[in-house]
Amino acid sequence: MPRITEERREDRREAIFQAAVECLAEHGCAGTNMRTIAEAVGLTKGGLYPYFDSKEAILLAIADRYLESQISILSPREGVSARHQLIEFLENYKQSSQDPHANAARRAVVDLWLSAGDIPAVRANIQGRHEAYLSALAGLVRRGQEEGVFRRDIPPEHAAGLILAARDGMLFQSVKLGVPVPIPQLIDCLRRALVDYLTGVPGAGDAVPPELAAAH
């Protein structure tokens, strides 16, 4: 039997990943299992196990992919100010909140974290995500202070904790309480309050860079 090349293996893994996101969007977390994912990608249930050993493993892979994309927005980029990157980070979340597939995947991951938080792999994922976000956000605020655009009397870790708490709070209300959460409007409020606070300039958070406003 011919061996599967590494490239083919990665292609198959990506197909499973995308099929899982589609299933989550259509069926939700409770209605998605290894069988529905296998059917969506054209495999038998057993055909998934060389790539992912459980639905939880797939959900954690989705969480990791999302985390990587968000951290990349916060990573230093030449010629881009910390203020610009902070606004970009918030605008990206506002845009993704209106994407049904992104919302479905995010809801599924939150369900996993809340229902299986005592599983070591899940617990490690939660802790790793939190630490990575805090570190990246605090680093962004610190860079803004070094650039002279953010106030130096604000502990970067406190600002980072506030941003993360606000984002997670919106998500929790939407997912677990089932209440209508106007995330785009709340993100606009958060951007204005946060940028004004960090810069010490009233109204500094009102303006969104034209390229971000056009994209979102």
Q: What pLDDT is recorded for position 166?
A: 92
Sign, CA torsion 65/68/70/73: negative
Structure tokens at 17: 């990943």
Binned at pLDDT 50, 70 and 90, residue 98 comes out as: confident
CB proximity list for 135: less than 8 A, separation 6 or greater: none
pLDDT (average), residues 78-86: 93
Tell me the fold of 58-215. Tetracycline Repressor; domain 2 (1.10.357)
Q: Is 165 exposed, middle or buried (0-12, 13-18, 19+ CB in 10 A)?
A: exposed
122 secondary structure, DSSP code: H
Binned at pLDDT 50, 70 and 90, residue 213 comes out as: low
Q: What pLDDT is recorded for position 4?
A: 66
* Residue 198 in this model has a pLDDT that exceeds 50: yes
154 secondary structure, DSSP code: S
Structure tokens at 192: 């204005």
Quickly list DSSP for 164-199: HHHHHHHHHIIIII-----HHHHHHHHHHHHHHHHH
Residue appearing with tokens 């941003």: 163
Task: Express each pLDDT in 145-173 by its tens digit.
Answer: 999 999 999 999 999 999 999 988 888 88
Q: For the chain, give every residue range classified as CATH 1.10.357.10.
A: 58-215
Q: What pLDDT is recorded for position 1?
A: 44
Tell me the fold of 1-53. Arc Repressor Mutant, subunit A (1.10.10)
Task: Express each pLDDT in 12-66 by its tens digit.
Answer: 999 999 899 888 878 878 888 999 999 999 999 999 999 999 988 988 888 888 8
Q: What pLDDT is recorded for position 215?
A: 55
Please state, in angstroms and as integers, the Cα–Cα distance from residue 192 to each residue in 27, 50, 87, 196, 215, following that order. Answer: 36, 47, 9, 6, 19
pLDDT (average), residues 125-133: 89
